[in-house]
Amino acid sequence: MSIKHMEGISKEIRHVFKLDTPNSTYLIGIVDEEGFVSHLYYGDRMKEDNYSGLLRIFDYPFLPSHNNRDRAAFLDSFPMEYPTHGTGDFRKDCFRIETEGGNSAVSLVFRDFEIKKGKPALAGLPATFGKDEEVSTLTLICEDIPTGIEYRLNYSVFEDLDVVTRNVEIRNRGSKNIFLTRAYSACLDMDNEDFCAITLHGSWARERKITETPIGSPMITVESKRGASSHQDNPFIAIKDRNATTDSGRVYGMNFVYSGNFMITAKEDQFGMLRVTMGISEEDFRWKLAPEESFRTPEAVLVYSNEGTGKMTRTFHDLYRKHLIRSPYKDRKRPILINNWEATYFEFNTEKLIAIAKEASSLGIEMLVMDDGWFGKRNDDTTSLGDWNVNEEKLPGGLKYLVDEVNKLGMKFGIWFEPEMISPDSDLYRAHPDWAIAIPGRDATRSRNQFVLDLSRQDVLDHTYESIASILRSANIEYVKWDMNRQLTDLGSAYLPADRMGELMHRYVLGVYSLQERLLREFPDLLLENCSGGGARFDPGMLYYSPQIWCSDDTDAIERLSIQEGTALVYPLSTMGAHVSDCPNHMTGRITPFETRGHVALAGTFGYELDVTRIPEADRKMIPSQVGTYHKYNDLVREGDYYRIASFRENGSHDCWGVVAKDRSEALFTYVKVKAGANERRRRIRFAGLDPDRIYRIEGEEGEYSGDLLMKAGYLVPNMNGDFRSRLIHLS
């Protein structure tokens, strides 16, 4: 078992818990007679078992048992595993309450522990999983004696990956109600050794751009208070050595398995210590905990790499592919789909969709997806959300007729929903205006002319589920694109009592999870793709329910280079919804070669977002070849190890990434020349991840090369004339 307990290390350190992964060690100490839970160490794996010298417990202000007069100074500098509010630690804390008397102070004292094989599920929440032989779990049982709060700090350690996951269960063992006003999932306290933070920021159509920030006394904050994990900030942070690269240096990655409001902070304190915290945002959060009720925080995933950001990335990818995504599609090719959104927008009917399907099927495309506009009176975005009944003026003969006709062409059929939303102009809203999130007497804020359903209510959940499920039962629908196109505002529920109104945001997210869990139970073979105005909910919580997420509404291949680079820093290529779209691009107006659009989309799930009946004949003729390329390489792209070779975001001229088979027998590198220049020479790129002792052939070229040569001396990419040109380089 990878968790070891050592007792009586010294008089001051009563217990040490050593959590070992293949290449890292995480140490927790129970310190002093009061049982302070201390962070001792996280980093390269250690054999050492004497850890008494790791803490500055013999420096001023000393332990409270030696110097209780300066307890506040001790609490304000001691490295804590789970810092609490109001008793002397003035750094960012992880836990805060409000009692019936209005007090907020709380503490945490160790009481007992459990070590078990396996990893228990988190009821109602997405989380990583593993078999008993793959993962072990440590639970530290702690308490706050005055309030009767019991904490269960859970740590799970994976045997084959450098991963530690954390979450906390809070139980009210007292006799009075308490209110949680902050309940984070994880904290990391350690010396700030000239670290930088990597975060992923952006906006709609500009998601997950990589940002590096030196860590100092100004607090770095990554957060969402929009009701979803958001376009603007992804629930991820990495702490790295300032000079760490893609293949060298220490990196600590943290990712939050949650799809709603979150808060991540990183700050250096007055003594040069770094504290990183991660959890549900306290913004609009106040959770009532009656006696014997419990609250579970979502899971935080911690990854350690001593081989740069690249090793961190590959660890996240392996963890999520093996221990988070559950879909039967996770280990097999996804059907190549064509979505009609950018082809037709709302202007379509059965005849038009069948025409697209006929042409697409003849070219090897495998699925037609009908996007927004098929229901109610939906001819624009002002109406009918919530009225999930087929508009037979557009689709004469109904949905089953259309699906059957598409199936006759040998194609699968998929459909778009936005289940969480309701239009003011809808039959559902006219019947149930109280089902929308709103504050009585306040003119509710509209976004995209729609409101949000109150998914804290079971009646709303049941109606929403049946509306979706009845459509799926009516025809052979094998794919659902689940969209969510606005933020949450005007936080009021006609269902929740006043003392539970602060639970609405979290209950909303739990409602989304329950709907998708229920959907997958009834339709276990359904391919579900989550979407939120593009990439506003691209997070590990969603991956628990869907094996792929629409990466961004920006389908421009050149824009996608940085979007997909940032996404792939944490999330597997197999999860990134990526399509070949029309040109000039509908969002940027850029004209990019059809071949390049295909190569960039090949780094994701691969599909088409255009009217295949109207594109230039030269582009149409390339589709069978692109389809063949997808089938040739997708197993490698989906299952292989990802390497970042060059970044257009950094160099302003070119981009390159690669995927290498686990046994290093095969690799596929994609090179994109973004900007051409005069009098250029061939560019040298150095591959990564190959076996230095093997001999490789490059498809379509003469000669053989050792892996050692290709990684050290590099490869000269043949010249390509013009901007936005690309090349696939296949090694075997």
Instruction: Say what the pLDDT of residue 142 is.
Output: 98
Cβ-based burial of 101 (10 A; exposed 0-12, middle 13-18, buried ≥19): exposed
pLDDT digits (tens, 9 = 90+) for 128-174: 999 999 999 999 999 999 999 999 999 999 999 999 999 999 999 99
Q: What is the pLDDT of residues 581-606, one digit of tens each?
A: 999 999 999 999 999 999 999 999 99
Q: How do residues 601-653 score in pLDDT, each as one tens digit?
A: 999 999 999 999 999 999 999 999 999 999 999 999 999 999 999 999 999 99
Is it the case that residue 411 has pLDDT exceeding 90?
yes
b/e sequence 268-287, b meaning 16+ C-beta within 10 Å: bbeeebbbbbbbbbbebbbb
- pLDDT by residue (tens digit) across 415-436? 999 999 999 999 999 999 999 9
Q: Is the pLDDT of residue 48 over 90?
A: no
Mean pLDDT across the stretch 14-37?
95
Residue range(s) of every CATH 3.20.20.70 domain in the chain: 334-638
Name 393's Cβ contacts closer than 8 Å, sequence gap at least 6: none
Please give the distance of CA 609 from its chain centroid, rounded to a whole number. 24
Top CATH class, 3-323:
mainly beta
Q: According to the CATH classification, is domain 645-731 in 2.60.40.1180?
A: yes
CA–CA dist 459, 657 (Å, integer):
48
Strand partners, 451: 422
- Answer whether residue 405 shows pLDDT above 90: yes
CA separation for the pair 206, 552 (Å, rounded): 8
Task: Give me the active site residues, please.
Answer: 483, 553
pLDDT of residue 338: 98
In this predicted structure, what is the pLDDT of residue 62? 87
Average pLDDT in the chain: 96
Indicate the class that CATH gives domain 334-638. alpha beta
Domain with CATH 2.70.98.60 in the chain: 3-323
- Which pTM was predicted? 0.97
371 pLDDT higher than 80: yes
- Which residues of the chain are in CATH 2.60.40.1180 domains? 645-731
Residue 12 banded pLDDT, cuts 50, 70, 90: confident
Most distant CA atoms of the chain, gap in Å: 83
Higher pLDDT: 60 or 431? It is 431
| pLDDT band for position 400 (cuts 50, 70, 90) | very high
